[in-house]
Structure 1
Amino acid sequence: MTDPIRLSKCVVELTGCSRREAELYIEGGWVTVDGEVVEQPQFKVEGQTVTLLPGATPEPQDPVTLLLNQPAGLSFEAAQRELTPESRWPEDRANLRLLRSHFARLTTTLPLQPGASGLLVLTQDWRALRKLNEDANKLEQEYVVEVSGAMVDNGLDKLKRGIRIKGGELPPVKASWQNETHLRFALKNPKQGLIAAYCTAIGLKVISMKRIRIGGVPMGKVPVGQWRYLGQAEKF
């Protein structure tokens, strides 16, 4: 019987690399134990077969940003549970190898409107987080809102000019019809409940709403409950 040893030590013995390089191989998803990728350098090996995958490089992993098409009504904790290897959008074109570590240490900002579905940004990258926080009042968010009821006369013009309501005033907003039952709103850093207030002010009732874009990054065709990586060329 032999005592279990750390996977990182196995990789050092297998390749002759340094301990740090072994950790980078493992954290990069390049090491398998009996055919299964293991990303924890401290994993204990007890006689299993350790293999280094072809093309392996001991490079630090860059932080990633995930774009989730969040189902309506989920908390941040529940939204995180939607992020699994299986729920990655099959048509994601980002040239990134999926690692389980991509689901750790994620932070979000720019929350959805109450009850809304759609684009939620979850990131490990402090640069993306700072951009979203510092430029929140500059980044346009686009929502598609399903409505019912009859709009008051010149309702869209009233939205574009701003509307007085009991207890205050709603600022001007860009809005247009997408089709007979859906409005499109484009607005910057909307307060919670603002879109519903706009609709109520022009005689409409919100059935559902979905955020489809933040700044220059669209949700695209990602189905509800699935996610994709933020592409290298995409900028908020």
Structure 2
Amino acid sequence: MTEAVRLAKRVVELTGCSRSEAELYVQGGWVTVDGVVVEEPQHKVTDETVALLPGARPDPAEPATMLLHKPAGFDSGDGPNPALSLLVPENRWPEDASDWRLLKRHFPRLQPAMPLETEASGLMVFSQDGRVLRRLQEDAAKLEQEFIVDVEGELAPYGWNRLTGGTQFDGWPVAPFKVSWQNEQRLRFAIKGVRPGLLQHLCNEVGLRATAVRRLRLGRIGLAKMPAGQWRYLPVSERF
């Protein structure tokens, strides 16, 4: 039997590339062992068949950013029912058009950005990329978000003028925003500087009670038709 060697070493023998390039091939998910992709350069092989997939490139893998349709009831952070638990390979949206290849290295160290309240649903961002996380943190107050809010109750007299004419929340003025009726029980908000409880407060101010909140858009990135509980990659070309 052939002596066991590291997979990266076998790739060097197979291709004549450098050791560092061999590790990039393996970490990039371009190497198969008996037809199965293996992403660990230290994986030991003996007589197995090692091969490179078509189009293999020894490029450093970009840190991943994932867009999740968070269902209501999932905590955005480390609560008892964390949304992060939904970011698993089997929940990837089949219609993800990003062309990103699914890799094990994309799942560790994902951090939430601009989280949602536990009872809210809709678009959430998780990223390994410090640039994305910093941008969303720095621009949180300036980035327009779109929400659908289901409501019940009756609009108070002159309530619409009060809603659109400016108000305060927690002692601070609310930045100008757009609001419109989608139907008799649903409002659409395009708003900046969203804080926990703000949308519910705006509804309460005019005699309505918010029964469900769903975020459809963050800046230029939309939820589209992605079902609840599924996720997709954010392509490098898309910007918030």
TM-score normalised according to structure 2 size = 0.90
CA separation in 1, counterparts of 2:106 and 2:160? 43
Where does residue 141 of structure 1 map in the other structure?
145
C-alpha RMSD of the superposition: 2.0
Contact 1:110–1:189 at 8 Å: present in 2 too?
A: no
Change (3 A) 1:74 1:200: same
1:192 aligns with 2:196: yes
Paired AA for residue 178 in structure 1: Q
Structural mapping, 1:38-53, within 5 Å = 38-53=38-53
Residue from 122, 126, 130 that aligns with 2:130: 126
- Residue 88 of structure 2: which of 66, 84, 91 is its match? 84
Q: Offset of 1:3 from its aligned partner?
A: 5.2
| Identical amino acids, percent of aligned pairs | 53
CA distance change for structure 1 residues 128 and 43 in 2, over 3 Å: closer, same or farther? same
Match of 1:109 in 2: 113
Say if 2:9 is the partner of 1:5: no
- Of residues 154-163 and 64-73 in structure 1, the stretch that sits farther from structure 2 once superposed is 154-163
Unpaired runs of 5+ in structure 2? none
Q: Match of 2:14, SS?
A: helix
C-alpha displacement of 1:168: 4.2
Task: State the 1:152 CA deviation.
Answer: 0.9
Matched, 1:15 2:19: no
Return 225-234 or 143-152, whichever deviates more: 225-234
Q: Aligned partners of 2:201 and 2:46: how far apart in 1? A: 62
Equivalent residue number for residue 178 of structure 2: 174
CA distance in 2 between partners of 1:17 and 1:173 (Å): 57
- For residues 35 and 226 of structure 2, what CA distance do their matches in structure 1 show? 31
The one-letter amino acid of 1:60's match is: P
Alignment of 1:216-227 (within 5 A): 216-227=220-231
Counterpart CA distance in 1 for 2:46 and 2:173 is 66
Q: Residues 54 and 233 from structure 1, CA distance in 2 versus in 1: closer, same or farther, beyond 3 angstroms?
A: closer
CA drift of 1:211 comes to: 0.5
Which residue of 2 is the match for residue 207 of structure 1? 211
Within 2, Cα distance between the matches of 1:179 and 1:169?
Answer: 30
1:65 maps to 2:69:
no
Does residue 155 of the first structure (1) align with residue 159 of the second (2)? yes
3-state SS of paired residue (1:199) = helix
Of 56-65 and 23-32, deviating more is 56-65
What are the ranges of 5 or more consecutive residues in structure 1 without an aligned counterpart? none
Q: Is the 8 A contact 1:116 1:208 kept in 2?
A: yes
Q: How does the TM-score come out when normalised to structure 1?
A: 0.91
Contact 2:74/2:118, CA 8 A, preserved across alignment: no
Q: Give the whole-Å Cα distance in 1 for the aligned partners of 2:41 and 2:161.
A: 61
Runs of 4+ residues over 4 Å off in structure 1:
167-170
